[in-house]
Structure 1
Amino acid sequence: MKSVSAHVSGVKSSGVRVAAALLLSLPLAAGAQGLLGQKKGQGGSEIQGSAGPGGSQGANGLEHCDKPMGAIAVVEPQDYVSQSLSRYGLQSPTGLIRMMVQQSNCFIVVERGIGMQNMMQERALQESGELRQNSNMGGGQMVSADFVLTPAVVFSENDAGGMGGALGGLLPGSSGRVLGAVAGGLKFKEAQTSMLVTDSRTGVQVASAEGSSKKADLKLGGLAFGGGAAGALGGYTKTNEGKVIAASLMDNYNNIVRSVRSQPSLQRDVGTLAEEAGRKTKGGAVFNEGDTIVPKLGNLKVYASASDSSPTVATLAKGEEMIFMGEEQDGYLKIESSNGGGWVKKVLVTR
């Protein structure tokens, strides 16, 4: 039995020595060029390209819809998710998810993140009088979010660092550290993501789905390249961790689309992104249908049509209330009042 055991031990030891020899026979510079070198046009992740009112590019693998099923806001994941992602040099996945949503054309994306702060800043500037007149930053113009999407990410690693340590231990000094870093980077990674979709009006969770992705990859440790490689290649389109998570998010989002698509009662008529982008906004105050408005001065004329050359059908006193009927034409608003209905000049009325 001793001879058999010694033979097996010798085979294992020999295998380690052979592996070490093979790795050491590769020049470090060549290894860096082959494993970490970038090839133009062949990088990126499962999620890439662009999207806009004119359509999308690079949306391979995504579910696609003929028209949006509602407006959706993508919120930031919980803090523990962001902290875990930051360990791999990855930022919040919300930007990636928003691009996926827009590329699919299954929902209109509304801003409820950092950009929202800037939008509210513009409105504050308008109220303070700092913006030009007729900038049209009044209320009643933002699109409502029909749904709120909350993402989460869970990922795990099976580290082959034990093998790397064994190989690195065979050689002294820096050579051993380099070898251990190379072999210790052999990992099998798996990412699981979840998305929860909530109806923003009722607060009811209407859809939930999971996504997953796996990948075996070779990652060179920081010791081999002075510790700078990981930072230089960080991001969802560059690092292996990022690509695995991006693929999982795509799988996850596709499941969400299938879930909402199978339930017509969840779908909302919100038009298209091209229609929203092409919607013309006019300068001056913004009034919504049904708003109560009053004249800025006395003896406000109410015309039969949207023209001051048309007959006058009524005259309103300053402060006399009228209801905006939702129609606007050539600088005139259609109204109804206790003295009759007609058209009044927009610049002469206020809320």
Structure 2
Amino acid sequence: MRTIAYAVAAAVILAGSPAFAKKKTPEENLEIPMCPQVLGTVAIKDSQNEWWRQYNLGNPAAVIKLIVMKSGCFQLVDRGQGMQMMREERDLMGEDELQRGSDIGKGQMVAADYFVLPDLVTQDSNSGGSAIGAGIGGAIGGGWGAALGGIKTKKLEAQALLTLTNARTGVQELIAEGTYKKTDVSFGFGGGGWGGFGLALAAAGGGYADTDIGKVITLAYVKAYRNMVTQMGGLSGNARMAAPLPAQRLLERTALLSEPRDDAAPVRGLREGMVLHPTGNKSGLFWEVEEPNGDRGWVPSELLELAK
């Protein structure tokens, strides 16, 4: 009987050992998409329902920022603490506290083409699991029993969402989903495979690099991000082109011209202060615009300023 018990114990341990398991660990599937060209600028917004607190995790915005920076798909603009620090620098500049030539002023900030809102739909953090080897371990005793008693069943699952909103139009361009599930029998979550991303994730803190549920949620976000970038192949790839051009205000009374030249026939008269909508067509110093009644024509660009 003792020989049979040892044989059973050895079989269970070898089946659960990462060295003999055929399953891939979640870390091996971590592939952040790399883009050959930048799709635009993006700002990461905080989730409304602070779900991460119940798992003792940090704000997932830090995880998304790391993924974005690693991928090279977007330029990341700071709308958080960095933004506040910028405002403080501008205040110092306005108070003449900074050295001459510091070159801090209006008109230097880069606009966000998109906003990304991370969220989580479902999650299962059965981190304790159930000790399937406790009974066998108690019967066998010794070193075998100690090893078997440490085997846990764990089921971790996360469904992450990334909502992409066009910053100019306010239109939600897409909602990308990423689901990651881990169900296995092992001594731990597995090791390796995170590389430099894992080190950066650990440095950012929040528990995403050193907890099972944190790793699973991270991988779910990686999948969601990959799906988002893939879906953006159907977009123009440039929000400045996809969104309507900003409206312009007419600085002085003039005529809406039928052609882009000074002596062209007038379509109608335009009054000072009218809001005109550029079509995107330009010819020399003239812009084609559409006035509120729907008439199209040309006006000198020097008579236009951004409507606020």
TM-score by length of 1: 0.49
Residue 238 to residue 46, structure 1, CA distance change in 2 (3 Å): farther
Counterparts of 1:236 and 1:125, CA distance in 2? 37
Counterpart CA distance in 2 for 1:236 and 1:147 is 25
Specify the SS of the correspondent of 1:106. Answer: coil
Change (3 A) 1:113 1:165: farther
Q: Secondary structure at the match of 2:38?
A: coil
1:24-54 residue CA offsets vs partner (Å, 9 max, x unmatched): x9xxxxxxxx99xxxxxxx97866xxxxxxx
Shift of 1:195: 0.4
Residue 105 of structure 2 is aligned to residue 155 of structure 1: no
2:83 and 2:146 map into 1 onto residues whose CA distance is 48
Retained in 1: the 8 A contact 2:157–2:182? yes
Match of 1:242 in 2: 214
Q: What SS class does the counterpart of residue 264 from structure 1 fall into?
A: coil
Q: After TM superposition, list the pairs within 5 Å mapping 1:173-252 onto structure 2.
A: 182-184=150-152, 186-216=153-183, 218=186, 235-252=207-224
Amino acid at match of 1:128: E
Structure 2 runs not aligned, ≥5 long? 19-25, 189-201, 242-248, 252-308
Identical aligned residues as a percent: 33
Matched residue, 2:64: 97
Change (3 A) 1:46 1:93: farther
Kept in 2, the 8 Å contact 1:156–1:191? The answer is: yes
Q: Aligned letter for 1:210?
A: E
1:71 correspondence with 2:41: yes
Q: In structure 2, do the counterparts of structure 1 residues 252 and 161 end up closer, same or farther at CA, with 3 Å as the change threshold?
A: same
Give the match for residue 33 of structure 2.
Answer: 62
2:76 to 82, 87, 109: 109
Distance change (3 Å), C-alpha of 1:113 and 1:166: farther
TM-score (ref. length: structure 2): 0.55
* Counterpart residue identity of residue 33, structure 2: L
The answer to whether the 8 Å contact 2:37/2:73 transfers is yes
CA distance change for structure 1 residues 192 and 129 in 2, over 3 Å: closer, same or farther?
Answer: same
Counterpart for residue 118 of structure 1: 85
Name which of structure 1's ranges 256-265 and 195-204 shifts more when overlaid on structure 2: 256-265
Residue type matched to 1:243 in 2?
K
1:196-234 deviations in whole A, cap 9, x for unaligned? 0111222221111100112235356xxxxxxxxxx9x98
CA positional deviation for 1:112: 1.1
1:301 matched residue in structure 2: none
The answer as to whether partners of 1:44 and 1:238 remain within 8 angstroms in 2 is no
2-side partners of 1:197 and 1:162: how far apart? 42
Distance 1:144 1:234, change over 3 A: closer
Structure 2 residue corresponding to 1:263, chosen from 235, 240, 245: 235
> Shift of the alpha carbon at 1:183?
3.6
- Judge conservation of contact 1:20–1:167 (CA < 8 Å) in 2: no
C-alpha spacing 1:143/1:45, structure 2 compared with 1 (3 Å): farther
| 1:132-154 CA-partner distances (Å, limit 9, x unpaired) | 22211111101001110000123
Asked whether the 8 Å contact 2:164–2:175 carries over to 1, the reply is yes
Q: Deviations over 1:34-93 (max 9, x none)?
A: 99xxxxxxx97866xxxxxxxxxxxx44142x322221101122343221342xxx3222
Unaligned regions of 5+ residues in structure 1, if any?
1-14, 26-33, 36-42, 48-59, 221-230, 270-289, 293-351
Q: Does 1:84 align with 2:69?
A: no
Which of these residues, 94, 99, 105, is aligned with residue 127 of structure 1? 94
Residue 102 of structure 1 and its aligned partner are, at CA, apart by 2.7
Is the 8 Å Cα contact of residues 39 and 237 (structure 2) preserved in structure 1? no
Larger radius of gyration: 1
Amino acid at match of 2:209: T
| Pairs aligned (count) | 218
| Whole-angstrom CA distance in 2 between matches of 1:234 and 1:45 | 22
